[in-house]
Structure 1
Amino acid sequence: MPDLLVADLSRWQFALTAMYHFLFVPLTLGLSMILVIMEGAYVMTGKEVWKRTTKFWANLFGINFVLGVATGITMEFQFGTNWSYYSHYVGDVFGAPLAIEGLMAFFLEATLVGLMFFGWDKLSRPIHWLVTFLVAMASNFSALWILIANGWMQNPVGADFNPETMRMEITNFMEVIFNPVAQAKFVHTVSAGYVTASVFVLGISAWYVLQGRHLGLAKRSMTVAASFGLLSAFSVVVLGDESGYALTDNQKMKLAALEGMWHTEEAPAALTLISLPDQGAQKNHFEIQIPWVLGLIATRSLDGEVEGILPLVAIAEDRIENGLIAYDALQFITDDPANLAARETFETTKQDLGYALLLKRYVEDPRTADADTITKAAFDTVPNVLMAFFSFRIMAGIGILCIVIFSLAFFFISMKRKVPRWFLRVALFTIPLPWIAAELGWVLAEVGRQPWVIDGVLPTFLGVSSLSATQVIMTMVGFTLIYGTLAVIEISLMLRAIKAGPGGRILPEGVTSEGPTGGRPVQFDV
């Protein structure tokens, strides 16, 4: 029987390290592209103000990049330390994209980032811009391969279980690469990173304007952030819709859970705007719905059906029973590899083997499970509905708010040519919101996949290493202390760099470089 406490603690530890790492990823992705835009303006105009602007944001990118690399490497080590059976079972598939990410993207990024920082006086303007562009591309390619690996966990295509090795093995690597779930997650995640960086640049620049400091840098930075951020915010919504469409075919239970949809509705299904899901009672206590919207988003049609949680549980129960046939046949193959009848039976039922493994939570041998245990295991396929439901809505609400913020910024800067001080304050206090949305997006993706570490293939509780709860707790405490220290260092470095500005010198309290702007709107003539 698996140690469920170790499994839960290992999940908490991975969540801690992954969510901490993901604080740095969106800003790295977005700032790298903003640097390309700003340095491109310097290459085309030759104005030193664009060079100073690019170098200032590059310093913040560098601080963030270093912490992202350090926390990312630590996170990957856990596949061997805390999730060794997972690594054994699916390592042939999961390890390939991560290896390519290291060889193709990370090494390129790590090599060129030095040239980007120290090559300003050694490279021509176009060549240095090319280096910056390649750093940005490497950052995005790094995200691509990692999300291909994660997308395979959500939708395991291009691989098959080999009864000889008792492992999943690649059968079609192109299917792994072009997995529709992975591609949808990539473009959505990258766009969210662009929004995060744009809000960050907009907010810090607004603070400079409010302080009457570095106005040349601030105005140009706000102009770039408003334009790039508006396009990115619209992309997040459109590509998020594409991610929802991908769930319809590949992760129906996750879609039903994030919508709090217990029963299959008549097509086209309504979108639940707000509700209070009760997983124990298997119902929602109140609902405000928008007719037809969910059906249109999820199926792109008026007659497509979105299945509810309880009908999907009934399907899971059938798949568990079919998986028991595969499990039984696999035991015969293990005892007698030449048993052709068992192999034929296994080939026709192996797609449901993972569902039979859900029973190992309750019994040593799944074949001994009774009907009540099978039903209980079928209900285990329902993720935390309340968490998925509200994670999605808060994330989506922040996305819509970002569109409003960027639309106002674009209107004030590009059309009115002046920005009121109240909006500058709003922009400053908006800075944390994209990070909250990004973290909730990760929570939705990972919680919504439960109880699977590989959807439909391997239950999470079976993927852990043979560790004691004490060992996991000790390492978790260690990670918390180390990451807490790194957080203090990172925030201190970022705040110091922001206070110093492009000149690299922190001014005495109350002293500004260009004078206060008073209560009047700030003119934008860049």
Structure 2
Amino acid sequence: MEISNINLSRVFFAFTAMYHFLFVPLTIGLAALVACFEGIGLFTKNSNWARYARYWGWFFPLFFVCGLITGYPLRWQIDSHWNYYGEVIQQVISTVFEFEGKIFPFLILIVLLFTFGWKLPAKIHFFISLSLAVILVLQSSAILGLNAWMQNPVFSDMKDGILSVPDLWSLMLNPILPAKIFHQVISSWTLAGMLVVSISSYFLIKNRNTEIAKSSFKIANIFTLIGLIGTGIAGHWSGTTLIEHQPMKFAAIEAMWDTQNSDDFIVFAIPDQKERINKYSIEIPGLLKIITADSNTVIKGMDTLTQETVSKIETELKSEKNKKSNFDQQRNGYSGLMGKSDVSNKTKDIEKIAHEAIPNVKIVFFSFRVMMVSWALLMLIALINVFMIKNKPEPSKGWLWICVLSLPTPWIATEAGWLVCELGRQPWAVTGLLPTISGGSKLDSGQTGLQMLTYGLIYAAMFGVVTKLSLRHIKKGWPQIVK
């Protein structure tokens, strides 16, 4: 597989994964928000809240089906575009998929009861909604466990070029996983909350269903604010784990080339990866200390980490195991970064290979800041909305339009965060064990390009259908639901 086609396959996988990620977090958050509406109705003994829950619950099966459909191409790509990667981690993937297979029938049953069971007693449907929110978190935790393992492969054993883990629990004990799960779940609340806030704002602008819109606007804003506060905490937590377990990713996020004890946080810069410097840097003194939560932490820069990569490559090349292994075995580990070259060839520019092993700093750096700016804008909107709710001033139409137009912002933050997570771990498919360049299949760029075009057209059509159905539901408004 040529490097150019590996990069094209990476773009293809990123496109399908990011599209899939438009729906999955939203379903997690929406299930929790609907359960929240139902819970308020039971607590206040006000049956109107069931109407709100049912209206917003309509979106769930639509987004759930889209998430389900767009998930399967990711598995297909592992088999077709990344078959060596799939072979190496087959046991690990099977461990996760086995768990998914066990809970899938229960998930589908609960989704069906949630969708068609609105005539059930309120307490029973509330329990169904709550169960749905919980099982979605469990399912996503297993997938996040697999992703966390690829980023930080703890409890791993490699035998004859095949990686394995003892069991699912070993994946769950990954030190970077708790922050990952918390970040995923709590940020999904922001997505769902902003969906309801934006649509409710639209109804208030059009002076339609105002009583119900005001109630939904109030609760969804509080829900969103909780999600944003939690996301901030989760982001801080994730940052502290990265320093220890993924220092190269953290260094790329901060565009930090030199190892330093500096507490300055780079707000803006233009990283120059070729020269390994930052141009036009704007820094805030002391802010990095808050992020790391430890004034004594020495943060390794990419230059230091690159030299560590050089040492690891040289160590593996000198080992008798690598000298006597066949090419498939040589594709693994740090020596696998050398590609198809003779691993015993001392004239190979190991230093150059090590520098190429640095992630794309510019994309990682700016994606992180796009995520942070999006979070800050949403936090500002949520705080202003909660202030107006508490002090009861009527929001102007201009402000309500800001709430409507802010709808894409949490998705922008989510996708930017995905780029930080996945590009920040490059050049590894499994950190330290399997390079990305080694994991691909023998496909040509033409095949991959055609497949990507096909999926692009299909996903564009799907997006059009979802948008049309959603707008139709919004235009219809809240029906009078019989108790």
Compared with structure 1, are the counterparts of its residues 481 and 416 closer, same or farther at alpha carbon in structure 2 (3 Å cutoff)? same
Given candidates 327, 333, 341, the residue that maps to 1:364 is: 341
Q: Which one of 368, 374, 389 corresponds to residue 392 of structure 1?
A: 368
**Structure 2 residue aligned with 1:114:** 112
Instruction: Name which of 254, 268, 271 aligns with 2:265.
Output: 271
- Counterpart Cα distance in 1 of 2:269 and 2:46: 54
Q: Which amino acid aligns with 2:310?
A: E
SS in 2 for 1:503: coil
Q: CA deviation at 1:294?
A: 1.8
Give the distance between the partners of 1:26 and 1:88, measured in 2 at CA.
29
Gaps of 5+ in 2: none
Amino acid corresponding to residue 366 of structure 1 in structure 2: V
CA distance in 1, matches of 2:23, 2:233: 24
Q: Residues 259 and 271 of structure 1 are in contact (CA less than 8 Å); yes or no, is this contact kept in structure 2?
A: yes
Q: How many residues align?
A: 480
Q: Which residue of 2 aligns with 1:302?
A: 295
Contact persistence 2:252–2:302 (CA under 8 A): yes
1:394-473 equivalence runs, <5 A: 394-416=370-392, 418-473=394-449
Residues 230-239 or 496-505, more deviating: 496-505
- Residue 334 of structure 1 deviates from its aligned partner by 7.5
The residue number in structure 2 matching 1:243 is 238
Deviation at 1:259, TM superposition (A): 0.6
Q: Is the 8 A contact 2:22 2:411 kept in 1?
A: yes
1:295–1:306 Cα contact (<8 Å) kept? no
Of 280, 283, 292, which aligns to 2:286? 292
Cα distance, 1:148–1:504 mapped onto 2, change above 3 Å: farther
Q: Which of residues 142, 152, 155 in structure 1 aligns to 2:139?
A: 142
Residue 65 in 1 paired to residue 58 in 2? no
The answer to whether the 8 Å contact 2:309/2:334 transfers is: yes
Q: Check the 8 A contact 1:272/1:289 in 2, yes or no.
A: yes
The answer for the alignment partner of 2:30 in structure 1 is 31
For the residue of structure 1 that corresponds to 2:376, the secondary structure is: helix
User: Secondary structure of the equivalent of 1:66?
Assistant: helix
Alignment root-mean-square deviation, CA: 2.1
Residues 134-283 of structure 1: matches in 2 within 5 Å?
Answer: 134-162=131-159, 165-171=160-166, 173-265=168-260, 267-283=261-277
Q: Does 1:15 align with 2:14?
A: yes
Structure 1 residues 95-110: aligned runs within 5 Å = 95-104=94-103, 106-110=104-108
The aligned counterpart of 1:511 is: none
SS for the counterpart of 1:180 is coil
Q: CA deviation at 1:416?
A: 2.6
Deviation at 1:417, TM superposition (A): 5.5
Following TM superposition, by how much is the alpha carbon of 1:330 offset from its aligned partner in structure 2, in angstroms?
A: 4.5
Are 1:158 and 1:174, in contact at CA under 8 Å, matched by a contact in 2?
Answer: no
Q: Which one has a bigger Cα radius of gyration?
A: 1
CA distance in 1, matches of 2:91, 2:397: 56
Please report how far the alpha carbon of residue 268 of structure 1 lies from its aligned counterpart in structure 2 after TM superposition.
4.1
- Greater Cα shift, 58-67 or 239-248: 58-67
* Alpha-carbon spacing, 1:30–1:192, altered in 2? closer, same or farther (3 Å): same
TM-score (normalizing by structure 2): 0.95
- Which stretches in structure 1 are left out of the alignment for 5+ residues? 336-345, 506-526
Q: Distance in 2 between matches of 1:82 and 1:353?
A: 18
| Structure 1 CA distance for aligned equivalents of residues 346 and 444 of structure 2 | 27
Contact 1:63/1:490 (<8 A) preserved:
yes
Shift of 1:7: 1.0
**What is the CA-CA distance between 1:28 and the residue it aligns to?**
0.9
1:315 corresponds to which residue?
A: 308
Residue 200 (structure 1) shift: 1.1
* Secondary structure of 2:280's aligned partner: strand
Q: Is the 8 A contact 2:27 2:60 kept in 1?
A: yes
* 2:263 partner SS: coil
Deviation string, structure 1 residues 443-468 (Cα, Å, up to 9, x no partner): 11111111111111111111112222
More off after superposition, 409-418 vs 49-58: 409-418
Retained in 2: the 8 A contact 1:27–1:196?
yes
**Amino acid in the other structure paired with 2:7:** D
- 2:81 maps to what in 1? 82
Q: Deviations over 1:220-274 (max 9, x none)?
A: 1111111111111011011101111111011111111111111112x24311111
Q: CA deviation at 1:421?
A: 3.0
Relative to structure 1, the CA distance from residue 396 to residue 474 in structure 2 (aligned partners, 3 Å threshold; closer, same or farther) is same
1:46 offset after TM fit, Å?
4.0
> Which secondary structure does the structure 2 equivalent of 1:275 belong to?
strand
Letter in 1 for 2:335: A
Q: Secondary structure at the match of 1:276?
A: strand
Q: Determine if contact 1:268/1:293 at 8 Å carries over to the other structure.
A: no
Secondary structure at 2:407 match in 1? coil
Superposed CA offset, 1:459-505 (max 9, x none): 11111122222222221121111111111111111111111112299
Residues 350-405 of structure 1 deviation map (CA, whole Å, 9 limit, x = unaligned)? 9x961111001xx432222425x211111122111111111001101111221111
The one-letter code of the counterpart of 2:298 is E
Determine the C-alpha separation between the residues in 1 that align with 2:97 and 2:417: 21
Deviates more, 1:489-498 or 1:470-479: 470-479
- Assess if the C-alpha contact under 8 Å between 2:335 and 2:343 holds in 1: yes
User: 2:321 corresponds to which residue?
Assistant: 329
**Tell me, what secondary structure is at the counterpart of 1:10?**
helix
In 1, Cα distance between the equivalents of 2:164 and 2:359?
Answer: 27
SS in 1 for 2:89: helix
